[in-house]
Amino acid sequence: MLDLLRADRVLTVVRAPEIGDARDLCAALVAGGIHVVELTYTTPDLPRHLERAASTAGETGAVVGAGTVQTGAQAKQAIDAGAQFLVTPGQGPEAAAIAEAARAAQVPVVLGAFTPSEVMTALALGSDAVKIFPAHQLGPKYFKDLNGPFPGVPLIPSGGVNAGNARDFLAAGALAVSAGTDVVAPADVAAGNWQEITSKAATFCKALQ
């Protein structure tokens, strides 16, 4: 997953009330140039969608993980459903349990953080990369500041990242960026507007070049 992020410089975070078909969603994103797909627990019946996406990953070429993971039980459930990585929005009381579940399954985990102290905690818990959320609050310059005390730490901005500012985050030292509704609008996901999602993914990827 991290190797793909270094190559693509982008993953997409899917937040939608329903996913028409997780396989077709992943295929649409890969066709547009985005291979790392984060399906979140804010979507009802997430394990079913993870199973569908994971079982067809050989066809689509996507690497699919679970996001908005907040408990150890959710982490284990997602892994059992086929999640290839885990992402948290922050560090709640079960952050250590989530990281331990990921380690036990040899699945990468990306813990959420905002402050330098939270970045330090994420690294101490064994986070493979650190998600900075909400990134738009302090902008790309914040990533340049974080690179001072944390050189080489893979940081991923999430929240408010779009085609207009994504390159600035990368230039400031981010490993990759999280593309959200700019690429996967909830209405498009629910309606199965796969061609539109492919087009938006391609546009976002082009903006990174």
Does 131 qualify as catalytic in the annotation?
yes
The helix (H) or strand (E) run that includes residue 58 is helix 57-60
Angle of helix 95-105 versus helix 72-80 axis, rounded to 10: 30
CA-wise closest residue to 27 among 66, 55, 1, 53: 53
**DSSP state for residue 116 in the 8-state scheme:** H
How far is Cα 50 from Cα 203, in angstroms, rounded to an integer? Answer: 26
Q: Is 38 a catalytic residue?
A: yes
From the list 38, 76, 94, 200, the catalytic residue is: 38
The active-site residue out of 76, 94, 131, 200 is 131
Q: Residue 117: in which H helix or E strand, if any?
A: helix 116-124
Q: What's the CA angle centered on 144, arms 138 and 150, to 5 degrees?
A: 110
**Residues with a known catalytic role:** 38, 131
